[in-house]
Amino acid sequence: MLAKIPIEILTAASGLFGATLGAIITFIGQRSASRSTRLQMLSELTSIGEVEKARIASYLELWKILAGASVREEHMTQRLHDLQDQLQNWYYTKGGGLLIGGGATKLAFFGARDLQSTKPYEIWKAFHDLGKCLRCDLRIFEDPSDEKRAIGAAKAKLQDLQD
């Protein structure tokens, strides 16, 4: 019977040692995976930040193009083709199409780029809708009613031109 006790103790001790070693290895593996996950998340956040900086810079260029269809522009209908060429250049040549926001912004972009109208109000509205999407992407207007009040006078002025 004495000979069995050391074997049982040895078996129990080796089982305990194996379980402890397994737990240590698992802990180290999880810690390493966690560190790797955190580093990957930080890397992605940095990339997202860089994309957002590039989007803002690109939107600023597009915003300048939109000025050509502003209320103060006297000859919107004559400038429409030139503005659409500038949109096309911004989208492809300057790479703006790679940075443009979600579906609504793309729809507004192509709506302005492909518009065929001679009515100042329709031209203004298409370009205004694009600008509105840009502001929304950049979270400039928190409350849509603020924006409505800000552009009410411009709409009225353009309606007068159309009539």
Identify which has the larger pLDDT, 84 or 30: 84
Residue 36 lies in a domain: no
Residue 10 lies in a domain: no
**Residue 128 burial (CB count, 10 A):** 21
Domain that holds residue 150: 48-162
Residue 148 lies in a domain: yes
Residue 110 lies in a domain: yes
- Contact between residue 117 and residue 80 where contact means Cβ atoms under 8 Å apart: yes
Cα end-to-end distance, the chain, whole Å: 112
Q: What is the pTM of this model?
A: 0.60
Residue 92 lies in a domain: yes
Burial annotation 70-104 (CB, 10 A radius, 16+ → b, else e): eeebeebeeebeebbebbeebbeeeebeebbbeee
Q: How far apart are CA 125 and CA 110, in angstroms?
A: 13
Residue 75 lies in a domain: yes
3-state secondary structure of 114: coil
Q: For the segment 61-101, what is each residue's pLDDT rounded down to a tens digit?
A: 999 999 888 766 667 788 899 999 999 999 999 999 988 98
Q: For the segment 113-156, what is each residue's pLDDT rounded down to a tens digit?
A: 999 998 888 998 999 999 989 988 887 865 666 666 666 766 77
- Closest by CA position to 91, among listed 102, 99, 80: 99
Q: What is the tally of structural domains in the chain?
A: 1
Q: How far apart are CA 117 and CA 78, in angstroms?
A: 10
Residue 122 lies in a domain: yes
Q: In the structure encoding, which two tokens stand for residue 45, read together?
A: 């956040």
Residue 2 lies in a domain: no
